[in-house]
Amino acid sequence: MFKLLSKESNIFSIPVYIGFLLLVVVIFNILNFNTYEAIIAGITFLGIALGYFCFHSIALNYQTHLPLFLYTFFIFGLYPGNLDIGIAVSLLTNSFLLLLLTSADEDVRKKSYVLVGAIVALNFIFLPTTWPMALFVIVHVIATSQKISLNLFRFLLGMVMIAFSYFSIMFFFRFTTWNIDYFPFGKMRPMTDYTDLLPLLPVLLMLIYAVYDHFKNYNKKSPISRYKYTFLLVFSLAQLVTIILYMNKNYEYLLLLAFPSSIILSRMMRFLPKYWMQEVSLWLIIMSMIAFKAGTYFNLF
């Protein structure tokens, strides 16, 4: 199966995966269909579907089916059906951020920081627990920009524009009181019970090994590969901070790691020395996701 998924993909492969994704979203929402749930399902579908195009934007997958397959399987295993609108919007905004910040056109990246700031602010409005994403963008600007002050100003300008628009709309509708529950820093309750996540332990161990192997062979990588992989790791770290601090039993937060995990694991399997290791790793991921899906869906743990 690994050899089959290692074949080169093309633009016509993406609609097939998106079609399967649409089928998953429809099946999980068909029993509780209403206007609100349909809007959330639509936002979720659009955000995840854009993720398929991010693979070509970040260009770390060697244009094979493997990361697309892993991404699809992660979505299947982690998508609960009744997704919170904050997570749905976060998936959509993350896809836009990846498309903008990993663009091959440097001029596009420079001119997109106002839009990036607006997207980050919009993300915060719908899901305040995603504040680490703002830190990720700031680190990215500092590490990659020649005109750091100018680009930081553009980023902050985008955030201020959305904040001003938001407060203006709220004032117009006479929402003039501040709900302290909206402030995320008083709700940090890290998980203490990991029983439900035990089926994902093989995936976690493979991710740790993949990061270790990357830094072990760091000097063998090309400069562009090192840059993009570092970008992906810092992006994953921002998502991981949100997950550790705020997920608790809301396992849909793990969807935020579906995209980077699929790239990291596909690269790890590609560079394993033996074919049987690649095949075993792939089936371990598949079985882990099926076990996790069964455990959360049927409350087996």
Q: What is the pLDDT of residues 152-195, one digit of tens each?
A: 999 999 999 999 998 888 888 877 777 776 777 766 677 777 78
The closest alpha carbon to 196, from 77, 86, 27, belongs to: 77
* Residue 301 confidence (pLDDT): 56
CA dihedral in degrees (58, 237, 226, 140; nearest 10)? 80
**Sorting pLDDT into bands at 50, 70 and 90, what band is 31?**
low
3-state class percentages of the chain: helix first, strand second, coil last, to nearest 5: 80, 0, 20
How does residue 62 score in pLDDT terms, banded at 50, 70 and 90? low
Name the amino acid, one letter, at 44: T
- Give the best-scoring range by mean pLDDT among 101-105, 197-201, 222-226: 197-201
Which pLDDT tens digit goes with each residue over 262-277? 999 998 998 888 888 8
Take residue 282 and report the two structure tokens written for it.
Answer: 């792939």
Higher pLDDT among residues 8 and 221, named by residue: 221
Interior angle at CA 211, CA 109 and CA 11, nearest 5: 50
- 3 state DSSP class of 64: strand
Structure tokens at 300: 């087996």
pLDDT tops 80 at residue 35? no
The confidence score (pLDDT) of residue 300 equals 61
Q: Which amino acid is at 152?
A: L
Q: In sequence order, what are the residues at sequence separation of 6 or more whose Cβ sits closer than 8 angstroms to the Cβ of residue 80?
A: 28, 251, 252, 296
pLDDT at 135 over 70: yes
Measure the CA–CA gap between 281 and 287, rounded to whole angstroms.
Answer: 10
Task: Parse the chain into domains and list their residue ranges.
Answer: 2-297
Classify each residue of 83-92 as buried b or exposed e, where b means 16 or more C-beta atoms within 10 Å of its C-beta: bbebbbbbbb
Mean pLDDT over the full length of the chain? 85
> What per-residue string of b and e applies to 257-285 under the rule 16 or more CB within 10 Å gives b?
bbbbbbbbbbbbbeebeeeeebeebbeeb
What local confidence, expressed as pLDDT, does residue 285 receive? 94
Checking phi first, is residue 174 left (phi over 0); if not, alpha (psi -120 to 50) or beta? left
Tokens of 261: 């995990």
- Of residues 10 and 115, the one with the higher pLDDT is 115
Between 265 and 62, the more confident residue is: 265
Is residue 55 pLDDT above 90, yes or no? no
Report the pLDDT value the prediction gives residue 33, as an integer from 0 to 100.
64
**pLDDT interval class at 203 (50, 70, 90):** very high
* Residue corresponding to tokens 């079609």: 19
Q: Which residue has the higher pLDDT, 48 or 193?
A: 48
Closest by CA position to 137, among listed 181, 101, 162: 101
Mean pLDDT value of segment 86-109? 85
